[in-house]
Structure formats: C-alpha cells, structure tokens
Structure 1
Amino acid sequence: MSWLTLTRGLRRYPVRPPDSGMARRKSIWERIHLDPWLIGLLLLLMAVGLVVLYSASGQRIAIVYAQSIRFGVGLVGMVIIAQFSPRTFLRWAPVAYGVGVLMLLAVEFFGDMGMGAQRWLVIPGVVRFQPSELMKLAVPLMVAAYLNRCELPPKLRDILVCAGLIGLPVMLIATQPDLGTSLLVASAAINVVLLAGLSWRLIGLATVLTASALPLLWMNLHNYQRQRVLTFLNPDSDPLGAGWNIIQSTTAIGSGGLWGKGWLEGTQSQLEFLPERHTDFISAVLGEEFGLVGMLAVLTLYFMIVCRGLWLSGASQDTFGRLVAGSIILTFFIYVFVNVGMVSGILPVVGVPLPLISFGGTSSATLLAGFGVLMSIHAHRRLLSR
C-alpha cells in the first residue's frame, strides 16, 4: 500500500452548500496561508537554537545576532513562499532545477574555497552561499513534477529518468567534495520516489544494486571520507587525530548525565576541546549542558514538528502536493536523525547540521523555504465533497 493510498483516507473536507449563507469566516492564519501550530513550534525551536548557540559559540553575541537575522530573513521568505499556489512550484520546478545545476557547474569553475572544499559562490559585497543547499528543495520538486505526469506507481522507465535527475546534481555536489549534502539531496529526492508507491520488488532490486556498488563507491571516496568511515568503526585507533572529534563529542554527551552541567558550564565546549561546536557538533553542547532531559526535550520538539508536518502533508489532495510535502518533512527528520546519530557515535561523521539550531545561513533558509512550500500545499488544497 503506497503513501498516496494511505493519505487519501486521512481526511475528508465536506463542502458547504453554496446557498447556506453560513459560510465560516476564514481566520487570519488561513488568509495568510500559514499554520499557527507549525509556526509556533518552529519559533520555539529557533529560540532554543539561539540559547544553545550562544554557549556553543563561546558566548559571542555577534554570532547569535547574525543567526537571528538569518532566521528573520528565512521566516520572511517562508511567509512569501506560502502565498504561492502549488501550481506555481510545479510550473517553475524545471527552471529551479536547471538554474541549480548551472550554479553547481559554476562552483566547479568559479567557486570559493573554504576548509579544503570548493562549495560556495560569492557575489562580491552581496552574499556568499552554497548552491548545493538550494538543491535540497529544487531536486525533489523536479522529481515530483516529473512523476506528477506519470502513471503511479512509477514504472522502471520512469524510475530510471528520476535516477538521472537525481544523479547529476548529486555527483556535482559530491565532487566539491561535500558527501553530507550530496547524501541529503539524494535522500530528499528518493523520498519522493518512495512516496510515489515504488513496488517492493524494485526497492529490493535497488538495495541489491546499491550494495553491489559499495566497493566502487569506496574506491572513489576521498581519503578524508574513507578515514571518517574507518574512524567510525574504531575511533580509538587515532584518538589525537581522526578520532578526536567523535571521542570529544561522546565524552561531552556522556559527561552531561541526566540533568547536564548547566548552561554555559560545559567543560568540553567552553574549553574548546569539542571541534565545530557551533555547527555540526552543537548537539554535543546541548547534551553536555542540558543532559539527557534537555536532549529528550529538544527531540520531542522535533518529533512534534514532524508529526504536524505529516498531518499537513496527509491533507494534500493531489499527487504533486503529497509527494513534495511528504518529502520535505521526511528530509527534515533525516537531518535530525543523521546529526544526532553522528554526534553520538552511531553513524559516521558526514557534516550534517542540526536543523535550526546549528549556525548556518543557507541551510536555515532552505529548511524554512521548505516549510513555506509545505504550508502552501496545505493552504491551497481543494475541498472535496464526500
């Protein structure tokens, strides 16, 4: 049974008779196409993120101020995006995909270097951004737009076309190199294909082919990427080198205990033993200072956002809306799962930020834009009679 079949029965929206004269007046939230519950949860998460970021950044208020501005810009963008009809996203998906691929090609030739990778485009005096982050939204939109024209569940030919649409930007991102973002882009688009009702036979075939390609993938990884996998398997093999990050991260989380050491009192973070503590490893700061209780509270907040997003996506009444909305919220869940997993040592370190808590501009803007698309799809749903 596919996602499309399941969600058709989630909700029914009866239409009032046109002559009833008792039509319900729309609330302010309905008129501006926003969901108050989702907005409230996102604002609460961002507030928590700013509190944790202040400590993780070494109490640098400038970083908190910069992140607040980025959140503000992202929220404005989310509100604007929510006003557009899903038909607009459907129409412009190929354009967004094409522009995104061209920007990735531009990164190959004109990209700005940083931390040993060439991932950024710079518009002098205006902005410095990662085009790969934008593809987290553009690629699933493109795949959903293609499948919207196909008979579902998709046939092998359609799946091969989707594989090509996914593979091109993923390979361009992986060569920057940016394995973490390439995997997130791939997972966001693959979610669309899975939600379209992919048969178990094809899922099994894809799993076998992927497993068969692992040796080839291993041979094509960069040395530092191979080292990350080996370090994940045995971090104590190089405790002062490749294993330093994960050892310090798990030490920070473990030392937090049940209640934590207290805000601004974390030794691993405040004494700078923990690397990348305000970006990829901010979860470790959260665990050290607020303990297991604080971690569970934040994970509960994430869980509530995911549940609300699934409820909104389940109300979508057309193929494109269901596929895009479902993919957006599942990708958000993958963000959280991968970040917490890598920081706690159950997954290899791949450089995935904790959504709306880690410091970052393009990533936050892309996530909020995705929620804007999700609320647009829900607000513009068609009301169907029983």
Structure 2
Amino acid sequence: MFRDRGPAWRQANAGHVSLGQLKVTSAIESCRRASLGGHVERSEDCVHTQIAYNACRNRHCPKCQGAAAKQWLAEREADLLPVLYFHVVFTLPAGIADIAYQNKAVIYDLVFKASAETLTTIAADPKHLGARIGITSVLHSWGSALTQHPHVHMIVPGGGISPDGTRWVSCRPGFFLPVRVLSRLYRRLLLEKLIATHKAGRPYVFGNQTPLADAQAFAAHLAPLRNAEWVVYAKRPFGGPEAVLAYLSRYTHRVAIANSRLIALDQHGVTFRWKDYRVEGRGRQKIMILATGEFIRRFLIHVLPKGFNRIRHYGLLARGACAGNIARARELLAIKKREDAPTETIADADKPRCPCCGGRMILIELFVRGETPRHSPAAPTRAIRIDTS
C-alpha cells in the first residue's frame, strides 16, 4: 500500500505531513528491500542459499515489531510474580484528546503520569490495599477504526509490598481497586496537570483551537469535564503469569493496525476488519472500506514524537529499582530463586531453518545499501510427487 500509493499521497499532501511521518512512510516502503542492504545465508547441510534483506526496525512498522516484542518479553519474564495480575485502562476524554492531537508529547506524558499517580496513590491508601505496587503502562493512541482514541493499558500485580517492607499484601480475590475512586482521582490529577502545563506556556494551540491559548478560555473548555464521568476500566484478572506474557505480546509493540487485519487494496480503497465496541457479541466484528488516502492519513496520525517512550514502568517495577524490588517480593512470597536452565534462547529460536533440509542457516555474506550480493539465491524447491495409485 505505501509503496504503490505513498508517493502520490505525499505529493498531494505536501506541507501537511510532519518529518516524523515522512520518515515512517519511507521506512515502511523500504523495509526488507534491497535498498536497505542485507545478508546471504547458506544451509550447513546442503547448498541451499537465500538472500535476506534488512528490516527498517521502525517502531511503527507492522513487520518489525514481532521480533522486538519477543525480545522485550524475554527480558520481562524474569519480573513476573506468581500472583494474580490485573488489567486497568485509563482513557483520555474527547475534549482533551483533541488538544493532544497537536501536542502528543506533552499530553500523552501527562496521561502516563496522572494514571500512574492515581493507581499508586489509591493502592497505598490503607482503606484499599495499603501497599507499594508495580505497574507496566503501554500507550495506545488509536481506536479499532484508526481514529484518535488515546488510552493507557496498565498491567499490575494483584498486591504489593507493605510500607515497612516486611510483608506482601495481596488484594482481594478477583478485585483490585475501586474503579469509581480511581476515575475521580485520575480526573482531578490530570486536569490539575493540564492547568499547570498551560500556565507554563504549553500545550501549543493553533488552527481552530487558537482561542484556547487564553487561560480563561482554556479553563472554560475543561470545565464540563470536571463533572463528567471519566472512563477507567478494570478487566478480570489474568489466569497466571503465562497469560500475562501472552497478553503483553499482543499489546506492548502493537501498531495502529496489523497486516493481518487488512483484506484488500483496490480501486475502491482499503478494506480492513475492525471492532465496534458499542455492539455486543459477534456483531462487533465489522468490515470498513476507506479511500487509500484517508487510510494512510489515519495510520500516520498515530506516529509518536521522536524519543517518546510509550512503554513505561512505575512503582516496584521502575527500572532503577526493579531488580531489588522483585527480589524482595519473591522473598516475601517465599519463592525460591529459579535455577538457570540450559534452554534455547529467543535469538536461537528465531534463527531461520533451511526450507530444503531443515538444517541451520549460516551467514556467508553481508552487503550494504546500494551493493549487489555476490551470491545468487537457490532456485525454488519443487516437491517431488510420486504417484503410487
């Protein structure tokens, strides 16, 4: 899609596409093509040779996030505890999401901070849990139809370490923290942070939002949100650590839409599957057709600012103190340290096998951008059919 229609779309929208968006389109169009260079591999057990072109490794490319997710999950596996895990979702109201469209780095950062502060504050309250908890947060800015819908997914162990560090405090079975209490504190904290940020000269507003540069106009814009119910959703707990990993593998490195949801690209536009969450049951699954230009526009509005981290850790799982906190939690839960077993690593498991003999492929040549490999790929293998009828 990007290779066939991208150049014409960029030309038609010149001056309205950011540098970050241009880099994403260029990366996706070049991914796994000769323009990025690559390497040549040959089987150890036969003469089969194949060329593999380099990936773009852009975090918005659907093809490149699979390997990154596997590596990230391998690193997170050591942090899992044998307790219930809960999934909590904090959503940004539409009135603020419109401002976030022009100020992604500022507003999304506030959402991360307000949601994490909400969860850690309520969990530390003796009326609820009375413990220090750990949080893994993942930002998604899209809805299923690629519309602007910023929200933060949080994966949280069902308990935490007591303030004095002497015991593990478990939550009630099947219940983590009261959603309504979370919603109201989240609303207050985020609105306070927005007002403070506006007084400091940000967020920037332009176009039809220019009047919001005035402090009184900005406060009036936020006023209706003070009495509205904000969406904070707590899902049922996971079945165990394995279920947590399976879920994280689908969420942490997800892009706005995966190739698997695409159905067709033709003269009518782009056809893809989406979920209408306003509908219950099987009717939720629907088909949408968008003009190719509109589809590309919707995909690119979810390109994040350069350097913005959309996976963050808080509390016990904060990167600086995570190892020590996990070790203490395991000690309090009376979990023996797992012995390192000589298992196959993620990197080894991902190494390709020869399609002819199943043997290990070894690297025999590297070539950079603009070079042509000296070796030629083997001819496609043909299955030999023996008719014994």
The reply to whether TM is greater than 0.5 is no
User: Higher strand proportion, which one?
Assistant: 2
Name whichever structure is richer in helix by fraction: 1
State the structure with more CA Rg.
Answer: 2
TM-score by length of 1: 0.23
Q: TM-score, normalised by structure 2?
A: 0.23
